[in-house]
Chain A
Amino acid sequence: MNMMDDKLVIRGIEFQSRLLVGTGKYKDFAETKKAIEASGAHVVTVAVRRVNIIDRKSENLLDYIDPKKYKILPNTAGCYTVEDALRYSRLAREAGISDLIKLEVIGDEKTLFPDTWGLLKATEILAKEGFIVLPYTNDDPVMAKRLEDAGAAAVMPLGAPIGSGLGIRNPYNLKIILETVNLPLIVDAGVGTASDAAIAMELGCDAVLINTGIAGAKDPIAMAEAMKHAVIAGRLAYMAGRIPKKLYATASSPIEGML
């Protein structure tokens, strides 16, 4: 199988890796840069925040992440209303160079679960404005379908709450979403270690987005590399087609020729 031809494509944009990474929670920009390089990711998420106008010596993230080399995917993290999500999305488009937006409308502070009602409304409006909307959503197949109908370019269901590292809590729902929508499925949030990423990919998910799972590891750069291999391994295993699960043994060595 030629993995070189097996690319993630969203709205005609071809991505060089099925691992997308965040840039939050790192020790410094140098570590961020090293981790991104080790992950082999092509898409890098960022947040939109006020410039510090008092301390102008502070460095800029984009001095470390070359927008010519990486696709910058701004998010609307921290937005709890449709209005805020729209405002941040529009600012992100003006600050950046693309129409890509990772749309978050958060509904609850403790779980950071999405407010899917607001998410759907915001997706519809932004899609009409020409944005390439990647909504962070629940692992709900019905909502995934509604987001597709509203003009989303991909769906990004959570594996588990943001930053929780609980892994893929509901693999069956992800499988149903894969059958329900005709869009790339990117598992966003919850991936805590390499096996979680591999499980998501083995299910047939198109990509995985990881921030805390890498940035929060004791050695983020090593974990970034582990995630890179896990995503490739999981994708290959999915394409290869796993054996069916059986309750009893089947001998690997022949009976014939035994003494």
Chain B
Amino acid sequence: MRLVVNEKIFETSNAETIMALLNELRIEPGQVAVEVNLSIIKKAEYSTFRLNDGDKVEIVNFVGGG
């Protein structure tokens, strides 16, 4: 499946949910927020929310700032 993750084209092996995608990217789900096609997905839904081909996914976390 081909996704756009943080504006980069990303071919997933078999990531059908957000949790699977985060695992594939080795991203700790606790410290991020995820948006799919501009909608924020709650952490509780990471395991059940199904991704579709062409979905635009944004994954953000906290960085240094003032």
Distance from B45 Cβ to chain A, minimum over Cβ atoms (Å): 11
Known: A50-B6, A53-B5, A53-B10. A26 touches B31 (CB 8 A): no
A162 at the interface (CB under 8 A from B): yes
B61 touches A49 (CB 8 A): yes
A211 touches B66 (CB 8 A): yes
B65 touches A22 (CB 8 A): yes
Distance from A109 Cβ to chain B, minimum over Cβ atoms (Å): 16
Which residues of chain A have C-beta atoms less than 8 A from B35's C-beta?
91
> Which residue of the partner chain, among A24, A51, A54, A56, contacts B66 with CB atoms under 8 Å?
A24
Total CB contacts across the A-B interface at under 8 A: 102
Which residues of chain B have C-beta atoms less than 8 A from A193's C-beta?
none
Known: A51-B59, A53-B5, A53-B25. A26 touches B64 (CB 8 A): yes
Docked complex Cα distance between A78 and B10 (Å):
26
Docked complex Cα distance between A189 and B66 (Å):
9
B60 touches A51 (CB 8 A): yes
Known: A50-B6, A50-B59, A60-B31. A94 touches B65 (CB 8 A): no
Q: Which positions 32-66 of chain B face chain A at CB distance < 8 Å?
A: 32-35, 40, 42-43, 58-66
Chain A 7-46: CB-based contact to B (< 8 A → 1; otherwise 0): 0000000000000001111100100100000000000011
Which residues of chain A have C-beta atoms less than 8 A from B63's C-beta?
46-49, 61
> Which residue of the partner chain, among B26, B33, B66, contacts A92 with CB atoms under 8 Å?
B33
A22 touches B40 (CB 8 A): no
Pairs A–B under 8 Å by Cβ, sample size 17: A45-B66, A46-B62, A46-B63, A46-B65, A47-B66, A48-B61, A53-B10, A56-B25, A60-B31, A61-B64, A75-B66, A77-B66, A91-B40, A92-B33, A94-B33, A95-B60, A95-B62
Partner-A contacts on B (CB < 8 A) = 5-8, 10, 25-28, 31-35, 40, 42-43, 58-66
7 closest A-B pairs (Cβ-Cβ)? Answer: A47-B65, A211-B66, A22-B66, A95-B33, A94-B33, A46-B62, A23-B64
Known: A53-B59, A75-B66, A94-B42. 16 other contacts (CB 8 A): A23-B66, A47-B62, A47-B64, A49-B62, A50-B58, A50-B60, A51-B25, A51-B32, A56-B27, A60-B31, A91-B40, A93-B33, A95-B61, A95-B62, A96-B62, A211-B66
